[in-house]
């Protein structure tokens, strides 16, 4: 039987020593990369993904906070409505200023409805021969009203005799606590 023995490093030729050192160095570099660097880079990549995910969640949370604050302000407006606010007279005044009283063909208050601790008072408004910009101005004024108002229905029809004029029907509701 042949016995295999490794020759000592000093008995190797210079070329064999260089090849052996390069192989050992390559294996050492590969081992360091596989044991230390690759897991570190993978962990760092995971942390970068977590940071991006958390930043996105933080933006969503900030958006929800803003929405919560707006809802809280609306709730406070509902709980403390202006003492002498009248939906009918407010809407009539805004229409007179924006579209003119001559374009108001009908304005009819609807029966108040009770909804989950709130009372909804509504007014149906019919306007004829108004421009689109007047409707938009009216909607802006309704949105900026001192009491919480909402347009629950809006129908627009162009007129047959003037294409730039509209006939409209709006249903405007005001809310207050019982």
pLDDT tens by residue, the chain, 178 residues: 456 666 677 788 888 888 989 999 999 999 988 888 889 899 999 999 999 999 999 999 999 999 999 988 877 776 676 667 788 889 999 999 998 889 899 999 999 999 887 888 999 999 999 999 999 999 999 988 888 889 999 999 998 888 889 999 999 998 877 7
Check whether residue 170 and residue 130 sit in a common domain. Answer: yes
Q: Does residue 2 form part of some domain?
A: no
Check whether residue 51 and residue 128 sit in a common domain. Answer: no
Q: Does residue 6 form part of some domain?
A: no
Check whether residue 74 and residue 130 sit in a common domain. Answer: no
Check whether residue 103 and residue 173 sit in a common domain. Answer: yes
Helices (H), the chain: 14-32, 38-79, 87-98, 132-143
Q: Does residue 4 form part of some domain?
A: no
Smallest CA-to-CA distance from 146 within 80, 70, 67, 71 is with 80
Contact 119, 148 (CB under 8 A): no
Check whether residue 168 and residue 93 sit in a common domain. Answer: yes
Residue 109 structure tokens: 């208050």
Note down the domain range covering 19.
12-78
- Give the HSE-up count for residue 14: Cα atoms under 13 Å, Cβ half-sphere: 0
Check whether residue 127 and residue 62 sit in a common domain. Answer: no
Q: Does residue 39 form part of some domain?
A: yes
Q: How far apart are the first and last CA of the chain?
A: 106
Q: Does residue 3 form part of some domain?
A: no
Q: Give the model's pLDDT for residue 2.
A: 54
Check whether residue 97 and residue 168 sit in a common domain. Answer: yes
Contact 95, 127 (CB under 8 A): yes
Check whether residue 93 and residue 168 sit in a common domain. Answer: yes
Q: How many CB atoms lie within 10 A of CB 124?
A: 15
CATH number, residue 99: 3.30.70.60
Instruction: Count structural domains, the chain.
Output: 2
Beta-strand runs (E) in 82-165: 104-109, 113-115, 118-130, 149-158
Check whether residue 136 and residue 68 sit in a common domain. Answer: no
Q: Under 8 Å CB-to-CB from 20, ≥6 apart: which residues?
A: 9, 12
Q: Does residue 146 form part of some domain?
A: yes
DSSP-derived 3-state class of residue 118: strand
Residue 158 structure tokens: 């162009």
């Amino acid at each position: 039987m042949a016995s295999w023995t490794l020759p000592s490093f000093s008995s190797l030729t210079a070329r064999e020593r260089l090849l052996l050192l390069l192989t050992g160095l390559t294996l050492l570099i590969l081992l360091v990369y596989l044991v230390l660097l690759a897991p570190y880079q993978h962990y760092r990549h995971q942390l970068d993904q977590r940071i991006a995910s958390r930043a996105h969640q933080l933006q969503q949370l900030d958006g929800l906070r803003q929405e919560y604050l707006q809802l809280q302000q609306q709730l406070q407006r509902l709980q403390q409505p202006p003492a002498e606010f009248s939906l009918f007279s407010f809407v009539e005044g805004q229409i007179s200023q924006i579209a003119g009283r001559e374009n108001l063909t009908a304005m009819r208050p609807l029966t108040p409805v009770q909804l989950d601790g709130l009372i909804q008072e509504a007014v149906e408004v019919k306007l004829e021969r108004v421009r689109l910009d007047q409707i938009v101005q009216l909607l802006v004024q309704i949105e900026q009203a001192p009491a919480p108002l909402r347009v629950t229905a809006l129908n627009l029809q162009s007129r047959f005799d003037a294409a730039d004029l509209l006939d409209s029907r709006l249903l405007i509701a005001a809310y207050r606590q019982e």
